[in-house]
Amino acid sequence: MDQLDLNQDTLRQRRNMVVTSVLVIFIKLADVTFGNSISFLGATLSIGNPEIIYKGILIFLAYFVWRFYQYFSTDKAYEALRNQYRKHMKVHTSVKIVQLICKPKNIPGLVGECLYKDLTKSERFTYSIEVVATEEYNPTTGDMVKEKFQANVPLIKIELYRFLYMIMFAFRGRIITDYFVPYLVLAYAVYIQFA
């Protein structure tokens, strides 16, 4: 079993939620109405208030959403996905922060990590971070001369790159179909109720 495979219980809850969401979408878009009687095994059942059928389906949808959330939030695959996402964002964002600091100033490298969580908003569209740059080799001591300074990083650039890295992560493997599509179907089912 792949690390990102949802367990069978979570898959069952997801299926129930998606099927009910699709049913709600179909009823709303096809303008389905429920009649006053149903034939069942040759017997005719009379329904006094047919609008209650649709409301009942909405109640089932709310129940299935709640059950899916309960299973999904405790599923090991969700935890693995969340950890992979955090690692992906940390690595890619750190590299981009270093590039945005070093490239304009022709600095050969920085000491330590430049993490997104260490950025502080300094001006209107600027983040700042304290960094240590390795400037050049000192032949007398045999060490690299290190310069500590406050670097500015353009807020718009770093947030744009973070958004792009998030999109890149989402399009890996089955992440879109397994994790995002069920929520999109649900969101559309809820949206058309009020549209």
Q: What is the pLDDT along the chain (195 residues), one digit of tens a residue?
A: 457 788 899 999 999 999 999 999 999 999 888 878 878 788 888 888 888 888 999 999 999 999 999 998 888 888 888 899 999 999 999 999 988 888 887 777 788 888 889 999 888 899 999 888 876 656 667 666 677 888 889 999 999 999 999 999 988 777 888 888 899 999 999 999 887
Based on the fold, state whether residues 72 and 91 are members of the same structural domain: no
Is 112 part of any domain? Answer: yes
Domain that holds residue 92: 84-162
Q: How many domains does the chain have?
A: 2
- Phi/psi at 71 (5° precision): -70, -45
Is 1 part of any domain? Answer: no
Is 138 part of any domain? Answer: yes
**pLDDT computed for residue 139 by the predictor:** 63
Is 92 part of any domain? Answer: yes
Based on the fold, state whether residues 136 and 180 are members of the same structural domain: no
- According to DSSP, the residues that pair with 132 across neighbouring strands are 111, 148
Residue 87 carries which side chain, given as an amino acid letter?
K
Based on the fold, state whether residues 47 and 96 are members of the same structural domain: no
Based on the fold, state whether residues 108 and 146 are members of the same structural domain: yes
**pLDDT computed for residue 149 by the predictor:** 83
Based on the fold, state whether residues 152 and 182 are members of the same structural domain: no
Is 17 part of any domain? Answer: yes
Is 183 part of any domain? Answer: yes
Based on the fold, state whether residues 89 and 156 are members of the same structural domain: yes
Is 3 part of any domain? Answer: no
Can you read off the two tokens belonging to residue 63? Answer: 């129940």
Is 169 part of any domain? Answer: no
Q: Where are the beta strands (DSSP E) in the chain?
A: 37-40, 43-46, 110-111, 120-123, 126-138, 143-154
Based on the fold, state whether residues 64 and 99 are members of the same structural domain: no
Based on the fold, state whether residues 73 and 143 are members of the same structural domain: no
Based on the fold, state whether residues 35 and 91 are members of the same structural domain: no
Based on the fold, state whether residues 59 and 121 are members of the same structural domain: no
Based on the fold, state whether residues 69 and 88 are members of the same structural domain: no
Based on the fold, state whether residues 21 and 63 are members of the same structural domain: yes
Between CA 52 and CA 104 the distance in angstroms is 65
6 burial level (CB within 10 Å; 0-12, 13-18, 19+): buried
